[in-house]
Structure 1
Amino acid sequence: VHMKASILDLSRRMPDVLRALERNEPVTLLYRGKAKGMILSLHSAGRQARPVRENPAFGLWKDREELRDVGRFVRSLRDRRRAL
């Protein structure tokens, strides 16, 4: 059994939605009567925090020469934005 909630219900019945999540019950989001998504509690989704270094995207740009000095790179981005 799981809860179904319209977009309007999210604002009107948020305490009920949160209680359902505390029970590890998924909440199906409805828009105009059709399921558009689902909210899962972190525990029921089996998600656990993991170190950033284990993320496949970690180090993606490590070989980019312009990023060797991150501070300089960020300043250059800001300078270009100010020039507009």
Structure 2
Amino acid sequence: MKASILDLRYKTRDILAALANGEKVTVRERGKERGVILPSADREHVRVLEDPFFGMKSAPDISVEEIMDNLRAER
């Protein structure tokens, strides 16, 4: 993604969304490249199948309330 100095100020949400998607943001001022903003290297990549919410309804012997209590216990 390319962004200007004004974009950094007025379109911050779009720039943060691009970083969250793993895109690098090139910052330009008056037509010259001034820098590059890279996404954080410590982003955690979780596969959908490993997410605890995936397949909640596949266990008929456990209620949704019990599953939610188990998930909340980790906090």
TM-score range, shorter chain: 0.5 to 0.7
Which residue identity does 2:18 align to in structure 1?
A: A
**1:4 offset after TM fit, Å?**
0.4
Whole-angstrom CA distance in 2 between matches of 1:34 and 1:20: 21
TM-score normalised over the length of structure 1 = 0.48
Q: How many residues align?
A: 43
Deviations along 1:12-60, one digit per CA (max 9) or x if unpaired, are 10000000000010000001111110000113xxx68xxxxxxxxxxxx
Which has the greater radius of gyration? 1
Gaps of 5+ in 2: 44-75
Q: Segments of 4+ in structure 1 off by > 4 A?
A: none
TM-score normalised over the length of structure 2 = 0.53
Whole-angstrom CA distance in 1 between matches of 2:34 and 2:3: 11
Whole-angstrom CA distance in 2 between matches of 1:8 and 1:26: 17
Gaps of 5+ in 1: 49-84
> Which structure 2 residues correspond to residues 35-54 of structure 1 after superposition, within 5 A?
35-43=33-41
